Amino acid sequence: LESNPEDLELLNRIFRVAHTVKGSSSFLNFDVLTKLTHHMEDVLNKARHGELKITPDIMDVVLESIDRMKTLLNSIRDNGNDTAIG
C-alpha cells in the first residue's frame, strides 16, 4: 500500500482484517483493541470510498496502528487482557 496507494484490493484486504479483529475483540470484550480497530476501520473505509487519500502521513498512522494492534494481541495472549499496555 505504501508503494501503490491506489491498490484498492489491498486496501480492502487490510480493511477486512481490521473489521474481523474489531468484531472478534468486541465479542470478547477487549475494549482497547475494539476502539483501536474501529478507528482503523474508519480511516481505511474513508480511503476505500475516495474520501481520504493514502499519503505517507496516513500510511504512517496505519502502520503505527497495525503495530499497536500486534502489541495488544500479544498482551491478550500473554496476560489475557488488552489493558496491560499503557
How many structural domains are present in the chain? Answer: 1
CB of 82 closer than 8 Å to CB of 36: no
Q: What confidence score (pLDDT) does residue 6 get?
A: 80
Does residue 2 form part of some domain?
Answer: no
Does residue 65 form part of some domain?
Answer: yes
Does residue 73 form part of some domain?
Answer: yes
Phi, psi of 74 (to 5 degrees): -65, -40
- pLDDT per residue as tens, the chain (86 positions): 767 778 889 999 999 999 999 999 999 999 999 999 999 999 999 999 999 999 999 999 999 999 999 999 999 999 999 986 65
pTM: 0.86
Does residue 70 form part of some domain?
Answer: yes
What CATH number corresponds to the domain at position 17?
1.20.120.160
Query: What sign for the dihedral angle of Cα 82, 35, 61, 44?
Result: positive
CB of 33 closer than 8 Å to CB of 73: yes
Does residue 62 form part of some domain?
Answer: yes
Does residue 71 form part of some domain?
Answer: yes
Q: What confidence score (pLDDT) does residue 85 get?
A: 62
Does residue 18 form part of some domain?
Answer: yes
Does residue 1 form part of some domain?
Answer: no
For residue 72, the enclosing domain spans 8-79
